[in-house]
Structures are given as C-alpha cells and as structure tokens.
Amino acid sequence: MDYLIEQIFLYMLVAFLIGGFFGWFLCRQGASKKIAELEARLADRKSGTPIESIEGIGDGFGKRLRADGIDSTEKLLELCASNEGVARVCKCVDLDENTVRNWGTMADLSRIKGLGGQWAELMWAAGVTSVQNLAAQEIEPLRARMREVNEKEHRVAELPGEKRVTRFLEEAAKLKPVLPNRD
C-alpha cells in the first residue's frame, strides 16, 4: 500500500511540474505577443499620428497604406502635396483622386492642435481645403457653415466653440502651407 501511495505521489509531482512548465511557457508566449504589440504601437507613435485617425481611413485602408510605407498622417500629407504622391496613394488604396485629396486636406488640418478626426472632416465638409484656406476664413461665417453642415449630416456631437475656432484660425496662420491651393 505504501508503494502505491508513493507512486501516486510521484505521478502527481511529475504532473504538477509538467503543468507548471507548460503554464509558464504559455504565459511567457502570451506576454511576448503583448510586448510585440506594445512595441509596434510605440513605433507608430514615434513615426507620427496613426493613419487611421483620418476619417474614412479604417483598418482596411490603413493596412493597405501601411503595406506601402504610408503609416502616418504626416507621410500622407507629404505625398498629397504632389500629383505623383496622390497617384501613388490612389493606386495603393484603389480609390479616386478626389477622395485621396480629401484625406490629404484632413491630414493637413490635423496639424493644428486639437483639430483632428471628425472636426477636420467637418471643416472639410464646410469648404475648408487646406491650412492656408482655414487661416483666410472669418470666424462667424465658418462657424455658420459648420453648423449648417452638421445639422444636415450629423458629423460631430458637439461643434467647436468660438474660442476654439479662433485658436484654430490663429494656429493655421502660423503654419507653412504644404498642400497646393485647391480653391
């Protein structure tokens, strides 16, 4: 009987050690994946604003753009400054030139602190075509167009206030033009 108890104890000890090893191995493997994901995210942050922050560029288009080396809004803006760059982006995502130029406009507007994503899209829908175009706007007519567009299309939950729009215009005036004038 003692021999049987000894054998059971030995088998349980071996099973515990094997289970512990596999548990440690699987946990380490999961941690390695998480570390790799975090490193990729950090690399994205270092390279600029993620390309998917542009309204209309989701995971699908983002994946295609990244595969072609276009991983940030800054890189997209750089390409959209020339006809050759626009053609490259069009070919990459298989979309028309107008859509790509609109993405370029939103990338240009996102250079302004606090103006990105849906607000950049709203500005574009309200007729703002570049940072230099925004700098030339008058506050109240711009806010009225933004309000009108938003009432029709419901692009944002809350419109930027007068102070914020004023700050956008002031900051736009300080930035150097990147995109050619589309007016």
CB atoms inside a 10 Å sphere around CB 131: 26
Q: Among 18-22, 75-79, 117-121, name the one with the lowest average pLDDT.
A: 18-22
Give the three-class secondary structure for 42.
Answer: helix
Residue 102 pLDDT greater than 60, yes or no: yes
CA 158, distance to chain mean position in Å, is: 21
This prediction's pTM = 0.70
CA dihedral of residues 122, 124, 125, 128 (deg, nearest 10):
110
SS3 per residue for 82-97: CHHHHHHHHHHHCCCH
Residue 16 pLDDT greater than 90, yes or no: no
**Residues in CB range of 134: below 8 A, 6 or more apart:** 109, 112, 123, 128, 168, 169, 172
**Residues in CB range of 144: below 8 A, 6 or more apart:** none
8 Å CB contact between 54 and 75:
no
Q: What is the rounded average pLDDT of the residues 136-152?
A: 95
Q: Could you give the C-alpha distances from 134 to 8, 130, 141, 153, in angstroms and in order? A: 79, 6, 12, 21
d(CA 7, CA 11): 6
Q: Quick: pLDDT tens for 20-58.
A: 887 787 777 777 777 777 676 666 555 578 999 998 999
